Protein backbone atom coordinates (compact mmCIF):
# COMPACT_ATOMS: atom_id res chain seq x y z
CA UNK A 1 0.00 0.00 0.00
CA UNK A 2 0.93 3.66 -0.20
CA UNK A 3 2.31 4.87 3.11
CA UNK A 4 2.49 8.41 4.43
CA UNK A 5 3.55 10.27 7.53
CA UNK A 6 1.66 13.11 9.17
CA UNK A 7 3.40 16.44 8.64
CA UNK A 8 4.66 18.25 11.75
CA UNK A 9 1.79 20.11 13.38
CA UNK A 10 3.53 23.49 13.21
CA UNK A 11 3.92 23.15 9.43
CA UNK A 12 0.19 22.45 8.97
CA UNK A 13 -0.68 25.35 11.27
CA UNK A 14 1.47 27.68 9.16
CA UNK A 15 -0.23 26.59 5.93
CA UNK A 16 -3.68 27.49 7.19
CA UNK A 17 -2.59 30.56 9.15
CA UNK A 18 -4.63 33.00 7.07
CA UNK A 19 -7.81 30.91 6.88
CA UNK A 20 -10.84 30.95 9.14
CA UNK A 21 -12.82 28.05 7.70
CA UNK A 22 -10.98 24.89 6.71
CA UNK A 23 -12.02 21.36 5.74
CA UNK A 24 -9.85 18.45 6.88
CA UNK A 25 -10.28 15.64 4.35
CA UNK A 26 -9.03 12.16 5.13
CA UNK A 27 -8.82 9.15 2.85
CA UNK A 28 -10.22 5.79 3.92
CA UNK A 29 -7.84 3.56 2.00
CA UNK A 30 -4.02 3.27 2.15
CA UNK A 31 -3.33 6.20 4.49
CA UNK A 32 -6.05 4.98 6.85
CA UNK A 33 -4.40 1.55 7.07
CA UNK A 34 -0.97 3.07 7.77
CA UNK A 35 -2.47 5.32 10.47
CA UNK A 36 -1.64 8.63 8.80
CA UNK A 37 -4.78 10.00 7.22
CA UNK A 38 -7.93 8.01 8.05
CA UNK A 39 -11.01 9.00 10.00
CA UNK A 40 -9.25 8.89 13.34
CA UNK A 41 -6.24 10.93 12.23
CA UNK A 42 -8.65 13.50 10.76
CA UNK A 43 -10.38 13.80 14.14
CA UNK A 44 -7.06 14.17 15.99
CA UNK A 45 -5.78 16.84 13.58
CA UNK A 46 -9.08 18.75 13.76
CA UNK A 47 -8.93 18.70 17.58
CA UNK A 48 -5.30 19.88 17.53
CA UNK A 49 -5.99 22.74 15.12
CA UNK A 50 -9.12 23.78 16.98
CA UNK A 51 -7.32 23.94 20.34
CA UNK A 52 -4.18 25.61 19.00
CA UNK A 53 -6.15 28.34 17.23
CA UNK A 54 -8.43 29.00 20.22
CA UNK A 55 -5.39 29.26 22.47
CA UNK A 56 -3.96 31.88 20.09
CA UNK A 57 -7.30 33.70 20.15
CA UNK A 58 -7.73 33.02 16.44
CA UNK A 59 -10.65 30.58 16.45
CA UNK A 60 -11.24 28.59 13.30
CA UNK A 61 -14.28 26.87 11.87
CA UNK A 62 -13.44 23.31 10.86
CA UNK A 63 -15.12 20.60 8.86
CA UNK A 64 -13.98 17.00 8.95
CA UNK A 65 -14.67 14.27 6.48
CA UNK A 66 -13.08 11.04 5.29
CA UNK A 67 -13.72 9.98 1.74
CA UNK A 68 -13.52 6.34 0.75
CA UNK A 69 -10.74 7.26 -1.71
CA UNK A 70 -9.40 10.57 -2.92
CA UNK A 71 -7.97 9.03 -6.10
CA UNK A 72 -11.43 8.35 -7.55
CA UNK A 73 -13.75 11.00 -8.96
CA UNK A 74 -16.92 9.37 -7.68
CA UNK A 75 -15.80 9.90 -4.09
CA UNK A 76 -14.46 13.43 -4.65
CA UNK A 77 -17.87 14.28 -6.11
CA UNK A 78 -19.31 13.84 -2.63
CA UNK A 79 -17.74 17.17 -1.71
CA UNK A 80 -19.00 19.07 -4.78
CA UNK A 81 -21.82 20.82 -2.95
CA UNK A 82 -19.77 21.63 0.13
CA UNK A 83 -16.20 22.37 -0.84
CA UNK A 84 -16.98 25.95 -1.89
CA UNK A 85 -18.10 26.82 1.63
CA UNK A 86 -14.53 26.34 2.86
CA UNK A 87 -11.61 28.73 2.39
CA UNK A 88 -9.11 25.88 2.16
CA UNK A 89 -8.81 22.10 2.42
CA UNK A 90 -6.14 20.12 4.25
CA UNK A 91 -5.93 16.67 2.68
CA UNK A 92 -4.52 13.71 4.57
CA UNK A 93 -4.50 11.52 1.45
CA UNK A 94 -1.33 10.46 -0.39
CA UNK A 95 0.17 12.82 -2.97
CA UNK A 96 -2.09 11.31 -5.62
CA UNK A 97 -5.27 12.00 -3.67
CA UNK A 98 -4.17 15.50 -2.69
CA UNK A 99 -3.56 16.40 -6.35
CA UNK A 100 -6.81 14.91 -7.57
CA UNK A 101 -8.70 16.80 -4.89
CA UNK A 102 -6.91 20.04 -5.83
CA UNK A 103 -7.73 19.38 -9.49
CA UNK A 104 -11.40 18.87 -8.66
CA UNK A 105 -11.65 22.17 -6.75
CA UNK A 106 -9.14 24.42 -8.55
CA UNK A 107 -10.33 27.65 -6.89
CA UNK A 108 -9.75 26.37 -3.35
CA UNK A 109 -6.22 26.03 -1.93
CA UNK A 110 -5.58 22.38 -1.04
CA UNK A 111 -2.75 21.75 1.43
CA UNK A 112 -0.95 18.47 2.18
CA UNK A 113 -1.34 17.24 5.75
CA UNK A 114 0.99 14.28 5.19
CA UNK A 115 4.27 13.46 3.48
CA UNK A 116 3.82 10.48 1.16
CA UNK A 117 6.67 8.04 1.81
CA UNK A 118 6.33 5.23 -0.71
CA UNK A 119 4.93 1.78 -1.34
CA UNK A 120 5.42 -0.38 1.68
CA UNK A 121 4.55 -3.59 3.48
CA UNK A 122 2.87 -3.81 6.84
CA UNK A 123 5.46 -5.31 9.25
CA UNK A 124 3.37 -4.59 12.35
CA UNK A 125 0.86 -2.00 13.52
CA UNK A 126 2.53 1.35 12.83
CA UNK A 127 5.62 -0.23 11.23
CA UNK A 128 5.99 -0.15 7.44
CA UNK A 129 8.88 -0.96 5.14
CA UNK A 130 9.29 0.20 1.56
CA UNK A 131 9.43 -2.52 -1.09
CA UNK A 132 8.64 -0.88 -4.44
CA UNK A 133 9.60 2.36 -6.21
CA UNK A 134 7.02 1.79 -9.00
CA UNK A 135 9.81 2.10 -11.59
CA UNK A 136 7.58 0.73 -14.31
CA UNK A 137 9.86 -2.13 -15.33
CA UNK A 138 9.72 -5.00 -12.88
CA UNK A 139 12.76 -7.30 -12.65
CA UNK A 140 11.59 -9.42 -9.71
CA UNK A 141 11.55 -12.54 -11.93
CA UNK A 142 15.34 -12.57 -12.13
CA UNK A 143 16.08 -11.21 -8.64
CA UNK A 144 14.34 -13.85 -6.58
CA UNK A 145 11.44 -11.58 -5.73
CA UNK A 146 13.69 -8.98 -4.09
CA UNK A 147 13.67 -5.50 -5.61
CA UNK A 148 17.18 -4.10 -6.16
CA UNK A 149 15.83 -0.69 -7.18
CA UNK A 150 14.24 -0.23 -3.75
CA UNK A 151 16.44 -2.30 -1.46
CA UNK A 152 19.92 -1.68 -2.88
CA UNK A 153 21.25 1.70 -1.78
CA UNK A 154 22.55 2.28 -5.30
CA UNK A 155 19.52 0.80 -7.00
CA UNK A 156 21.80 -1.51 -9.00
CA UNK A 157 20.22 -3.78 -11.59
CA UNK A 158 23.42 -5.84 -11.76
CA UNK A 159 24.96 -6.25 -8.36
CA UNK A 160 26.37 -6.54 -5.85
CA UNK A 161 28.85 -3.67 -5.79
CA UNK A 162 32.17 -3.69 -3.95
CA UNK A 163 30.50 -2.30 -0.85
CA UNK A 164 28.78 -5.54 0.09
CA UNK A 165 30.08 -6.79 3.42
CA UNK A 166 29.08 -10.18 4.82
CA UNK A 167 25.45 -9.70 3.90
CA UNK A 168 25.25 -6.04 4.78
CA UNK A 169 25.63 -2.76 2.93
CA UNK A 170 28.49 -0.33 3.26
CA UNK A 171 26.10 2.53 4.00
CA UNK A 172 24.98 1.01 7.29
CA UNK A 173 26.08 -2.19 9.05
CA UNK A 174 22.41 -2.89 9.82
CA UNK A 175 21.22 -2.40 6.25
CA UNK A 176 21.05 -5.79 4.50
CA UNK A 177 22.72 -5.97 1.09
CA UNK A 178 19.91 -6.51 -1.42
CA UNK A 179 22.17 -8.35 -3.84
CA UNK A 180 23.47 -10.71 -1.13
CA UNK A 181 19.83 -11.48 -0.30
CA UNK A 182 19.10 -11.99 -4.01
CA UNK A 183 22.07 -14.39 -4.29
CA UNK A 184 20.94 -16.39 -1.27
CA UNK A 185 17.33 -16.54 -2.44
CA UNK A 186 18.21 -17.67 -5.96
CA UNK A 187 20.71 -20.23 -4.58
CA UNK A 188 18.03 -21.64 -2.29
CA UNK A 189 15.71 -22.01 -5.27
CA UNK A 190 18.41 -23.62 -7.43
CA UNK A 191 18.17 -20.73 -9.90
CA UNK A 192 21.58 -19.15 -9.32
CA UNK A 193 22.30 -18.99 -13.06
CA UNK A 194 19.69 -16.20 -13.21
CA UNK A 195 22.04 -13.84 -11.44
CA UNK A 196 24.40 -13.97 -14.42
CA UNK A 197 21.84 -12.44 -16.78
CA UNK A 198 22.69 -8.80 -17.39
CA UNK A 199 19.75 -6.46 -16.99
CA UNK A 200 20.06 -3.42 -19.25
CA UNK A 201 20.00 -0.06 -17.57
CA UNK A 202 16.67 1.59 -16.91
CA UNK A 203 15.94 4.55 -19.11
CA UNK A 204 15.33 6.96 -16.30
CA UNK A 205 15.18 9.85 -18.77
CA UNK A 206 11.80 8.43 -19.71
CA UNK A 207 10.52 9.10 -16.23
CA UNK A 208 7.82 11.51 -17.33
CA UNK A 209 4.28 11.60 -15.93
CA UNK A 210 2.99 8.17 -16.80
CA UNK A 211 -0.47 7.23 -17.96
CA UNK A 212 -1.60 3.64 -17.67
CA UNK A 213 -4.28 2.20 -19.88
CA UNK A 214 -5.07 -1.46 -19.21
CA UNK A 215 -5.51 -3.76 -22.21
CA UNK A 216 -9.05 -3.56 -23.52
CA UNK A 217 -9.60 -0.06 -22.19
CA UNK A 218 -9.19 3.27 -23.89
CA UNK A 219 -9.47 6.90 -22.94
CA UNK A 220 -12.94 8.34 -23.47
CA UNK A 221 -13.18 11.15 -26.01
CA UNK A 222 -13.51 13.66 -23.22
CA UNK A 223 -12.53 12.87 -19.62
CA UNK A 224 -15.57 12.28 -17.46
CA UNK A 225 -16.18 14.87 -14.75
CA UNK B 1 -12.28 2.05 54.35
CA UNK B 2 -14.61 4.95 53.54
CA UNK B 3 -11.78 7.10 52.34
CA UNK B 4 -12.68 10.37 50.67
CA UNK B 5 -11.05 11.81 47.57
CA UNK B 6 -11.40 15.29 46.00
CA UNK B 7 -14.94 15.88 44.74
CA UNK B 8 -13.68 17.51 41.52
CA UNK B 9 -12.51 14.12 40.23
CA UNK B 10 -15.20 12.58 38.01
CA UNK B 11 -14.73 8.90 37.32
CA UNK B 12 -15.43 7.39 33.91
CA UNK B 13 -15.39 3.61 33.95
CA UNK B 14 -13.81 1.69 31.10
CA UNK B 15 -13.44 -2.08 30.88
CA UNK B 16 -9.65 -1.70 30.69
CA UNK B 17 -7.40 1.34 30.23
CA UNK B 18 -6.56 -0.21 26.85
CA UNK B 19 -10.00 1.06 25.80
CA UNK B 20 -8.91 4.68 26.30
CA UNK B 21 -8.20 6.38 23.00
CA UNK B 22 -6.15 9.47 22.13
CA UNK B 23 -9.39 11.16 21.05
CA UNK B 24 -11.09 10.53 24.45
CA UNK B 25 -8.30 12.37 26.23
CA UNK B 26 -8.01 15.13 23.62
CA UNK B 27 -11.75 15.76 23.59
CA UNK B 28 -11.86 16.10 27.36
CA UNK B 29 -9.25 18.87 27.18
CA UNK B 30 -10.80 20.35 24.03
CA UNK B 31 -14.16 20.67 25.80
CA UNK B 32 -12.65 22.40 28.81
CA UNK B 33 -11.61 19.76 31.37
CA UNK B 34 -8.72 21.13 33.46
CA UNK B 35 -6.99 17.76 33.50
CA UNK B 36 -7.52 14.08 32.76
CA UNK B 37 -5.72 11.11 34.19
CA UNK B 38 -5.92 7.41 33.54
CA UNK B 39 -5.63 4.94 36.37
CA UNK B 40 -4.64 1.52 35.11
CA UNK B 41 -3.60 -1.73 36.72
CA UNK B 42 0.04 -2.18 37.69
CA UNK B 43 2.28 -2.77 34.72
CA UNK B 44 2.72 -6.46 34.08
CA UNK B 45 -0.64 -7.36 35.61
CA UNK B 46 -3.03 -6.49 32.77
CA UNK B 47 -5.72 -9.11 32.31
CA UNK B 48 -5.54 -8.36 28.58
CA UNK B 49 -1.71 -8.37 28.68
CA UNK B 50 -1.08 -4.96 27.09
CA UNK B 51 -4.06 -2.71 27.93
CA UNK B 52 -2.36 -0.47 30.47
CA UNK B 53 0.82 -0.30 28.40
CA UNK B 54 -1.15 0.84 25.36
CA UNK B 55 -2.91 3.42 27.50
CA UNK B 56 0.44 4.76 28.68
CA UNK B 57 1.59 5.18 25.09
CA UNK B 58 -1.60 7.03 24.20
CA UNK B 59 -1.22 9.27 27.23
CA UNK B 60 2.34 10.04 26.11
CA UNK B 61 1.10 10.90 22.61
CA UNK B 62 -1.54 13.26 24.02
CA UNK B 63 1.09 14.92 26.22
CA UNK B 64 3.20 15.55 23.10
CA UNK B 65 0.16 17.02 21.33
CA UNK B 66 -0.58 19.33 24.28
CA UNK B 67 3.02 20.53 24.18
CA UNK B 68 2.70 21.21 20.44
CA UNK B 69 -0.47 23.25 20.75
CA UNK B 70 0.78 25.25 23.73
CA UNK B 71 -0.86 23.60 26.75
CA UNK B 72 0.87 22.04 29.76
CA UNK B 73 1.47 18.29 29.12
CA UNK B 74 0.91 17.59 32.83
CA UNK B 75 -2.81 18.15 32.37
CA UNK B 76 -2.88 14.55 31.13
CA UNK B 77 -1.20 11.81 33.15
CA UNK B 78 -1.12 8.09 33.72
CA UNK B 79 -1.12 6.33 37.09
CA UNK B 80 -0.98 2.65 37.94
CA UNK B 81 -2.20 0.79 41.00
CA UNK B 82 -3.79 -2.51 41.94
CA UNK B 83 -7.52 -2.68 42.68
CA UNK B 84 -6.74 -3.35 46.36
CA UNK B 85 -4.94 -0.04 46.85
CA UNK B 86 -7.66 2.41 47.87
CA UNK B 87 -5.29 4.70 49.81
CA UNK B 88 -3.04 4.95 46.73
CA UNK B 89 -6.08 5.81 44.60
CA UNK B 90 -6.89 8.65 47.01
CA UNK B 91 -3.26 9.80 47.04
CA UNK B 92 -3.19 9.96 43.23
CA UNK B 93 -6.51 11.86 43.13
CA UNK B 94 -5.09 14.41 45.56
CA UNK B 95 -1.78 14.66 43.75
CA UNK B 96 -3.50 15.26 40.41
CA UNK B 97 -5.89 17.80 41.94
CA UNK B 98 -3.02 19.74 43.51
CA UNK B 99 -1.07 19.63 40.27
CA UNK B 100 -4.01 20.96 38.24
CA UNK B 101 -4.69 23.68 40.83
CA UNK B 102 -1.12 24.86 40.39
CA UNK B 103 -1.51 24.89 36.59
CA UNK B 104 -4.80 26.80 36.84
CA UNK B 105 -7.96 26.46 34.79
CA UNK B 106 -7.91 25.17 31.22
CA UNK B 107 -7.92 28.30 29.02
CA UNK B 108 -10.07 26.44 26.46
CA UNK B 109 -13.08 26.36 28.75
CA UNK B 110 -14.08 29.90 27.81
CA UNK B 111 -14.74 29.07 24.16
CA UNK B 112 -16.30 26.22 22.24
CA UNK B 113 -14.92 24.15 19.38
CA UNK B 114 -16.51 24.71 15.99
CA UNK B 115 -16.08 21.42 14.15
CA UNK B 116 -18.65 20.11 11.72
CA UNK B 117 -18.73 16.50 10.64
CA UNK B 118 -19.23 16.45 6.87
CA UNK B 119 -20.80 13.08 6.14
CA UNK B 120 -19.75 11.67 2.79
CA UNK B 121 -22.98 11.87 0.73
Residue B53 lies in a domain: yes
Predicted confidence (pLDDT) at residue B28 exceeds the cutoff of 70: yes
Predicted confidence (pLDDT) at residue B121 exceeds the cutoff of 80: no
pLDDT number for residue A137: 87
Q: Is B82 on the interface with A (CB under 8 A)?
A: no
Domain with B60, as residue range(s), is 17-104
d(CA B37, CA A113): 29
Query: Are the beta carbons of A82 and B118 separated by less than 8 Å?
Result: yes
Per-residue model confidence as pLDDT tens digits over B31-56: 999 999 999 999 999 999 999 999 99
pLDDT number for residue B15: 96
Q: Is the peptide bond before A164 cis (omega within 30 degrees of 0)?
A: no
Q: Is B69 on the interface with A (CB under 8 A)?
A: yes
Q: Is B91 exposed, middle or buried (CB count within 10 Å of its CB: 0-12, 13-18, 19+)?
A: middle
Give exposure, A107-122, as e/b (b: 16+ Cβ within 10 Å): ebbbbbbbebbbbbee
pLDDT number for residue A218: 85
In chain A, which residues have their Cβ closer than 8 Å to the Cβ of B108? Answer: 51, 54-55
pLDDT number for residue A214: 85
Residue B114 lies in a domain: no
Query: Are the beta carbons of B111 and A52 separated by less than 8 Å?
Result: no
Residue B109 lies in a domain: no
pLDDT number for residue A223: 57
pLDDT number for residue B118: 92
Q: Is B68 on the interface with A (CB under 8 A)?
A: yes
DSSP-assigned states of every residue in B53-118: HHHHHHHHHHHHHHHHHTS-GGGEEEEE--TT-HHHHHHHHHHHHHHHHHH-S-GGGGS---EEE-
Among A82, A75, A114, residue whose Cα is nearest residue A98: A114
Residue B34 lies in a domain: yes
pLDDT number for residue B6: 96
Residue B86 lies in a domain: yes
- Taking the CA of residue B68 and the nearest CA in chain A, the distance in Å comes to 7
pLDDT number for residue B5: 96
Per-residue model confidence as pLDDT tens digits over B74-110: 999 999 999 899 999 999 999 999 999 999 999 999 9
Alpha carbon A54 to its chain centroid, in Å, reads 32
Residues of chain A with CATH 3.40.50.2300: 2-118
In chain A, which residues have their Cβ closer than 8 Å to the Cβ of B114? Answer: 50, 59-62
Per-residue model confidence as pLDDT tens digits over A69-78: 999 999 999 9
In chain A, which residues have their Cβ closer than 8 Å to the Cβ of B115? Answer: 46-47, 50, 62-64
Query: Are the beta carbons of A44 and B119 separated by less than 8 Å?
Result: no
What is the share, in percent, of chain B residues with pLDDT greater than 70?
98
pLDDT number for residue B1: 79
d(CA A141, CA A121): 19
Query: Which is higher by pLDDT, A147 or B2?
Result: A147
As for the ipTM of the complex, it is: 0.93
If DSSP codes are grouped into helix, strand and coil, which group holds residue A33? helix
Total number of domains constituting chain B = 1
Residue B6 lies in a domain: no
pLDDT number for residue A149: 93
Predicted confidence (pLDDT) at residue B10 exceeds the cutoff of 90: yes
Residue B55 lies in a domain: yes
Nearest residue of B to residue A78, measured between CA atoms? B121
pLDDT number for residue A216: 83
Average pLDDT estimate for B1-22: 95
CATH dotted code for A2-118: 3.40.50.2300
d(CA B5, CA B31): 24
Could you give the residue ranges of the DSSP H alpha helices within A56-173?
73-76, 95-104, 148-151
**Each residue's pLDDT expressed in tens, for chain A with a length of 225 residues:** 999 999 999 999 999 999 999 999 999 999 999 999 999 999 999 999 999 999 999 999 999 999 999 999 999 999 999 999 999 999 999 999 999 999 999 999 999 999 999 999 999 989 999 999 998 889 999 999 999 999 999 999 999 999 999 999 999 999 999 999 999 999 999 999 989 989 998 777 667 778 888 888 888 876 555
Residue B59 lies in a domain: yes
pLDDT number for residue A129: 94
Amino acid sequence: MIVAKRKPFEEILQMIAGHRKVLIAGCGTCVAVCLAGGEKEVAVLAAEIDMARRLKNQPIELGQTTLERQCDREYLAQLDDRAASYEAIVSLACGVGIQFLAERFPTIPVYPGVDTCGLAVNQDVGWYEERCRSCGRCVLDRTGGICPVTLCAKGLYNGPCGGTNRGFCEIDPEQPCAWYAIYERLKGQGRLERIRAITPVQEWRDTVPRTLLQPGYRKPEKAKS
Amino acid sequence: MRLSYPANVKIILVPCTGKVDVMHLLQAIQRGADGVYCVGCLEGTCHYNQGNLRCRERVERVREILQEIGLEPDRVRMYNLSSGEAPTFVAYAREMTELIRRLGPNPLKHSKPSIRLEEAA
